[in-house]
Every structure is written in C-alpha cells, then in structure tokens.
Structure 1
Amino acid sequence: MSNNDFQARHLETLDRDLGRMSTLEQATAYVGRPLVGMGLSFIFVVVTGLVATLLFGGSGNTLIIVLAAVFGAYMALNIGANDVANNMGPAVGANALTMGGAIAIAAVFESAGALIAGGDVVSTIAKGIIAPSTMASVDVFIWAMMAALLSSALWVNLATWIGAPVSTTHSVVGGVMGAGIAAAGFGAVSWGQMGLIAASWVISPLLGGLIAAGFLWFIKARIVYRDDKIASARVWVPVLVGVMAGTFASYLAMKGLKHLIKVDLPLALTIGLAVGVLTWLIMIPVTRRQSRGLENRNKSLKVLFGIPLIVSAALLSFAHGANDVANAVGPLAAIVQASATGDFTHSFGIPVWVMLIGAFGISFGLFLFGPRLIRIVGSQITKLNPMRAYCVALSAAITVIVASWLGLPVSSTHIAVGAVFGVGFFREWHSERRMRALRMSIPDRPAVAAEERRRRKLVRRSHFMTIVAAWVITVPAAALLSAVLFIGISWIAG
C-alpha cells in the first residue's frame, strides 16, 4: 500500500469518527435540553423555599408556609408552560412574532400584569366554591388549600406533557372542590357556582369560535375577495384596528385595571368607545402610508395586520397576568393568611411576595417549557396568518367582556383555543362551499374522492379531540387528585 493510499484511508476514517462525534454531540444536546429546563426549574423552586424561610423563619408555621411557597412556585412554572401559549400562539403561528420575541413580550407583560394589576382580593376559598364555615379548623383549611394547590399544579403539568392547553383557573377550582369535599362532604360545595363553570366549558369556546369566525368572514367579504384589495383595506383596516383597540381598552379597564380604579361595565364600554374612535382616526393616515406601493394580492394584506396582532398579544398577556395569576396563587395566599393570623373566614389580599412568585414563575415556565404549547396552538391546530390570528385575539377580548356582562366564569384558555378552532372550522366550511359552487359551475368536473376530502381538512382532528377531552376532565381530575392528596396530607399531619 502506497503512502498516499494510507493517508487517504486514514483521513476517511477520521472523517467518519468526526461525523460520529458530531452526531453524538447533537444527540446529547437534544437529550440534555429537557434536563437543563428541569434543573433550572428545580433551582427556582428551591430559591423560592429559601426566600419563604427567610421571610417567615421566626413564625411557628414556617414549614407549612415554605411548602406552600414551593407548591406555588411549581404551579407558576406550569402556568407559564401551558396557559401563556394561548396568548402568544396565534401571533407566532402567523409569523408576526418569532418564538424568542413572543417569549420576551409575554414574560414582560405577564409579569407587569401580575405585579401592577394583579393584587386581587380573593375570597377565602377560591371563587366561592366551598363555604368557609364548613371547615372544621384552621389546620383543615390549610391542608385543603395545600392539596388544591399541588393537585392543580400536577394536573397542568400532565396536560402540558401530553400537549393539551387547559385552564389553570378551572384546575384550581377543581382542586379546591375536591379538597373541600374530602374535608367537609358534598354539602360544602356551592353546586350553583359549579354549574356555571360547567356551562362555561361549552359556552366560552363556542362563543369565542363564533366571534372569530364572524370577523374572518367579514375580512374575507370586505377585503380579501374585493377586486381592489388595497383600496378596501384602506377603508376597513382602520375600522378593524379601532374595534380591536376599543375592545382591549374596555377589557383592560374592566378586568386588568380594576384593582387600580373602580370601573363598572358601562364606564368600561364608554372608555372603549372613546379609545376605539380615536384609534380609528389615527389609523386612517397610518394605513394609507403603509399601503403605498403594495401589490393587489392577499400577501400584501398581512403587512397591515402585523403590528395590531403583536400589540393584541401583549395586551392579552397583561390581562392574563392580572387575572389568572391571582387565581392560581390564591390558595398560596390563603395558606399564608391562615397561618399568620388564624383567620380563614374573611377576604384577604395577595401579598406582594406571593405575586412575585407568580410573575417570575410564569416567566421561567414560559421560557423553559412554553414553546411546545405555543407551536401547538399557533400552527398545529390549523394554519394561521395575521388576519386569522387577529380574529382570534379580538374574539378572546370580546368574549371575555360578553361573559363578564352575563356573569359567566369563563376561561381565557377555552376562549382563545375555541377561537382558533372557530377560524379553522370556518375555513373548512368556506373551502367546501367554494368547491361546491365550482362543481355547480362546471357540471363535468369529477367529484373529489372521500379520502382526498379528508386529507383537505384544515383542522387537525387529533388535536381537537385531545384538547376537548382535557377540558372536560380538568375539574373532575383535579378534584379527585386533590381529595386523595388531602387525605394523605391530613393522615401525615394527624
């Protein structure tokens, strides 16, 4: 063998070895990425426990408060991993935001909503599900809240793992109900309130879907299918952005900022009307400037909806931080209140350090585990563009206002995901309708085979069934888990 042949074989072997090493490094990085996330989450939970120890180290219930703080941090991480995807998913799926940009905006606005407007005054037991008078003692109440907090966190964690966006508020409600039943029997539950929550499982996603589909139909009829799309957009985009601005102004005035100033529904609608008209007037010249030089095609229209979509995602995150975070850390605040004062029969405020746990936990959970659910909501249920995603965001805000007016306890998760489904099913119906019209205009056109029609479905049925099933069983599953945990905690403590 010549020296050249030997060198060639040596280099070939070296290339193969380097290729194997490169593949091994990629595989190690892929396997290690979840471990990094879990490691950082564990560090956050431990730091939370240490902070609680420093704050309450001299009290007699230090261990209880530290455990509750740890459970609260775990719950906040799961909210970030699951619930926030509903606000950011449509914007990411429509390519109006990158994944990194969405995470940054959500982390900032979720935290701002929780800290600025999230100091909600919650009842002793979340949302009036359980009558406080049914609790036998302070210890029983604390055990019930511990079980509710841990069970809801475990359930949201499981739902995130299987890829189902669920309601953290309903998880907490289920946890409180299950622990209350285990502690005081079925008579302790306010079944009228539970009936309203059960009704919201159906009403909120249907309402969100119908409103989103209605706006998408309007955009198609008034802009997309017009001969001069750009001229139509100059007329209607300012109106649509004005409606969005007015709706979010009402939404934030009524829901997100109610802790800073007292706002009832008529005042909130008046504020929304004023903001909407002002935004409409401002957007007329802005839209004209943006539309200059655009080609008369659908792709050009996406430019006009990009910025409103980003703003709507940020505002939805702020309102979510102001409302859902308080619901999620409510049991932790209840435990702190009962441990510090022995009082669990009156309303109480959520301490700032508890809200900090919620705010930072959401940010960490979103950064470490949120991208998977964001992709599912944004692109794997149905294909979204800026116009469809705009309809989803606007529908979420309008549905919350309507539900608040009707007095229905709705879930922002159900509304947003229901709106995504509504957009997808409307696209299916509209596409089928256009195909029928085309077949009628061309009688000799061959019919589409059944298998091909199934392939053209624009909503993934597997995701639809998984998500709906998770919604239906959230409250009973969290309740059952909470009851088991309460029995276990009371046995250990007793």
Structure 2
Amino acid sequence: MTFLVVIIILALVFDYINGFHDAANSIATIVSTKVLTPFQAVIWAAVFNFAAFFIAKYWIGEFKIGMSFAKSINEHFITLPVIFSALVAAIAWNLLTWWFGIPSSSSHTLLGGFMGAALAHVGALSQDGFTVINYKVVLPIFLFIFGAPLIGMIVALIITLIIVNLCRRANPYKAESWFRRLQLVSSALFSLGHGSNDAQKVLGLIAAAMVANGSLDSVKNVPDWVPLACFTAIGLGTMSGGWKIVKTMGSRITKVTPLEGVAAETAGAATLFLTEHLGIPVSTTHTIAGAIMGVGATKRLSAVRWGVTINLLWAWILTIPVSALLAAIVYYIVKLFV
C-alpha cells in the first residue's frame, strides 16, 4: 500500500511537471502576440486545463484517453515497479528537455517509459516480450505521432487561408483588434483540449497501478478523486509556466500575428477534440507545433524556421526510445530493492 501511495504522488508530480513543461502549448501564441502578459496567460490556461475535468466527466461522460493509456500494456504485465520506473524515467526526460527549452512530448515520454519498464519486467527478448504491448491501442498512438502535427498543420493552413480571404477588405486595425479578442477564445479551447488529453494519461496510469495493487477491480471504475487530482495537478503546473519552451514555440518556429494565433490554436483544439473522441492519446506539443508551422507556411515556406523544426523532430523521434531505455535501467535498479 505504501508503494502505491508513492506511485500516486509521483504520478501527480509528473502531471504537475507536464503542466509547466507544456504550458507553452496553449499560451505561446497568446504571449508572443502580447494579447496577454505571461502571468495572465498561465492563469487563463490553467483555469481551462482544470475545467476540462467537468467536460470529460459530465458532458462526454467518460475518460476515453485515460482508459486507452491504461490498456497500452497488457494488464498481466503491469506491476507497481513497472509503473514507478516509467514515471521516474518520464520525469527525468521531461526535466531535461525543459532545461534545454525543447518542446518534446510528455505523452510520448510517459508511453515510452511505460513500454520500456514493462519490457524490462518480462525480458524484451523472451517469448512474453512480444505480447507485453497492446498493439491495438499503441499502433494508433504511433500513427498519430506523425498524424497529429500533420492534421494540425493542414487544418491551420486552411483556416488561415479562409480567414485571410474573408478579411481581405477589412480595416486592418479593426481586424487585428477582433483577432486579439478571438485569441482568448481559441487559447481557451486549446487549453481545454490540452488539459483533457494530458491529465487523462496520468489518470490511466494511476488507475492501472490501483488495479495492479488489487485496490481496484477495473480501470473503468476509477474513483472520482483520481481524475480530480490529475486535472488539479496539471492546472497548477500550467500556472508555473515553462518560459524557455514558450520562447521556442511562440517565436522561434515562426513569427505569429493575432490572426495566425487564432488559426493555430483553433486548428490545434480541433485536432485534440477529434483524437479525444477517438480515444487516442496524442501529443499536444506536436499538435500545436504542426499548427504553428501551418500558419507560417501560408506566408511563404521560408517564414518557417525549418532548422528549428528539424531539431524538434529529432527530439520527437528520440523521446519514446530514450524514455523506454531510461525506464528499463530504472526498473533493473528498483528490482534490486523491491
């Protein structure tokens, strides 16, 4: 029971870190366009991160993403040391990428850690090693590593072109004033998607730990305090901000105007709502980065700093295998004491 409590605390710590690591996802454009100050922006995003709990609980009626994440590893191979090792590895990678200002995916960090620790548990080359991963759940997640930013990019490009053509004859000053106000709405929508998507992954991991400990009969029956704690933790983390990543997302990929900020955030939110409906955990980081590239590309391809983008892509590719390796190492160390 004590080990379970440690894991729950560690999971909420990861959730908090996820919040400040990914704060840039929903506030980068609204800060870079100076619609809100950084302090105002993190408060705004945190409120809607937490509000996502009520939408998932009372409107959607279930936590689809959390349940999918809990089932990414076959339950026969989920143990408390596996989950502990996954969390330690995910926290380490998140802190490292935050330190260097690299907007890597907290979602894929956690998934990589979960898979790596589970494979270490059974032995990756053993006969069971091929049945550890629930491919029905994991394959769509892998497809959306590339699919989510691509969808975000295409939708953002289309929205931007539509807005530009509709507002071609509008007074530039009035149009910008309106788009600055609309950014509050688009940022709120993206924050709802971010909170719902990312908090649910931790929810799923805690539920899996409770099942492994025998405290719960099924991940579907997770008590209300678990999602409430998860959404609270990510909201508090977002309030702490992650300014190095805000700078990368808000200005280094491409310069963003209020109009483009609205297009990017709306496209990102639409992508997150779609994947939540499908129950597929995706990276909010990848999604908004793709959307920002999409709005930049409408001006000209050279408006996107592709050198920065390539560096981000390398971070995205390395996240899952590095997290898996870290988790496997942590697991072997933990087994010496547990």
| Fold conserved between structures, TM > 0.5 | yes
**Structure 2 residue identity aligned to 1:335:** A
SS of the counterpart of 1:130? coil
Question: CA 1:74–1:326 in structure 2 vs 1: closer, same or farther (change >3 Å)?
Answer: same
2:20 equivalent in structure 1 = 81
| 1:397 matched to 2:269 | yes
2:96 equivalent in structure 1 = 158
- Indicate the RMSD between aligned Cα atoms, in angstroms: 2.6
Q: Can you give the 5+ residue segments of structure 1 that lack an aligned partner in the other structure?
A: 1-60, 231-295, 430-456
SS of the counterpart of 1:341? coil
1:111 equivalent in structure 2 = 50
Q: What is the CA–CA distance in structure 1 between the aligned matches of 2:216 and 2:221, rounded to whole Å?
A: 15
| 1:209 matched to 2:54 | no
| 1:419 matched to 2:286 | no
Structure 1, residues 344-378: CA drift from partner, whole Å, max 9, x if none?
A: xx334444443344334323433334233223212
1:129 equivalent in structure 2 = 72
Cα deviation for residue 409 of structure 1 reads 4.7
Q: What is the CA–CA distance in structure 2 between the aligned matches of 1:122 and 1:399, rounded to whole Å?
A: 14
Q: What is the CA–CA distance in structure 1 between the aligned matches of 2:155 and 2:66, rounded to whole Å?
A: 32
| 1:181 matched to 2:119 | yes
Higher relative contact order (CA 8 A, sep 6+): 2
| 1:466 matched to 2:311 | yes
Question: CA 1:351–1:154 in structure 2 vs 1: closer, same or farther (change >3 Å)?
Answer: farther
Cα deviation for residue 85 of structure 1 reads 1.6
CA contact (8 A) 1:114 1:323 kept: no
**Structure 1 residue identity aligned to 2:112:** G
Q: What is the CA–CA distance in structure 2 between the aligned matches of 1:466 and 1:152, rounded to whole Å?
A: 20
| 1:218 matched to 2:162 | yes
Q: 1:305 aligns with which of 179, 182, 199?
A: 179
Report the identity percentage. Answer: 28
2:227 equivalent in structure 1 = 355
Cα deviation for residue 313 of structure 1 reads 1.1
Q: What is the CA–CA distance in structure 2 between the aligned matches of 1:122 and 1:465, rounded to whole Å?
A: 29
Structure 1, residues 198-243: CA drift from partner, whole Å, max 9, x if none?
A: 221222211211111122222223323xxxx22xxxxxxxxxxxxx
What is the TM-score with the length of structure 1 in the denominator?
A: 0.61
Q: What is the CA–CA distance in structure 1 between the aligned matches of 2:91 and 2:223, rounded to whole Å?
A: 20
**Structure 2 residue identity aligned to 1:178:** G
CA contact (8 A) 1:76 1:357 kept: no
SS of the counterpart of 2:270? helix
Question: CA 1:330–1:127 in structure 2 vs 1: closer, same or farther (change >3 Å)?
Answer: closer
Cα deviation for residue 177 of structure 1 reads 1.0
Q: What is the CA–CA distance in structure 1 between the aligned matches of 2:73 and 2:246, rounded to whole Å?
A: 34
CA contact (8 A) 1:121 1:350 kept: no
CA contact (8 A) 2:64 2:276 kept: no
Cα deviation for residue 340 of structure 1 reads 5.1
**Structure 1 residue identity aligned to 2:313:** V
Cα deviation for residue 97 of structure 1 reads 1.9
Number of residues of Structure 1 aligned to a counterpart in Structure 2 = 328
What is the TM-score with the length of structure 2 in the denominator?
A: 0.86
Q: What is the CA–CA distance in structure 1 between the aligned matches of 2:226 and 2:280, rounded to whole Å?
A: 27
Q: Can you give the 5+ residue segments of structure 2 that lack an aligned partner in the other structure?
A: none
Q: What is the CA–CA distance in structure 1 between the aligned matches of 2:221 and 2:101, rounded to whole Å?
A: 34
| 1:333 matched to 2:207 | yes
**Structure 2 residue identity aligned to 1:333:** A
**Structure 2 residue identity aligned to 1:148:** A
Question: CA 1:106–1:406 in structure 2 vs 1: closer, same or farther (change >3 Å)?
Answer: closer
Between structure 1 and structure 2, the one with the greater Rg is: 1
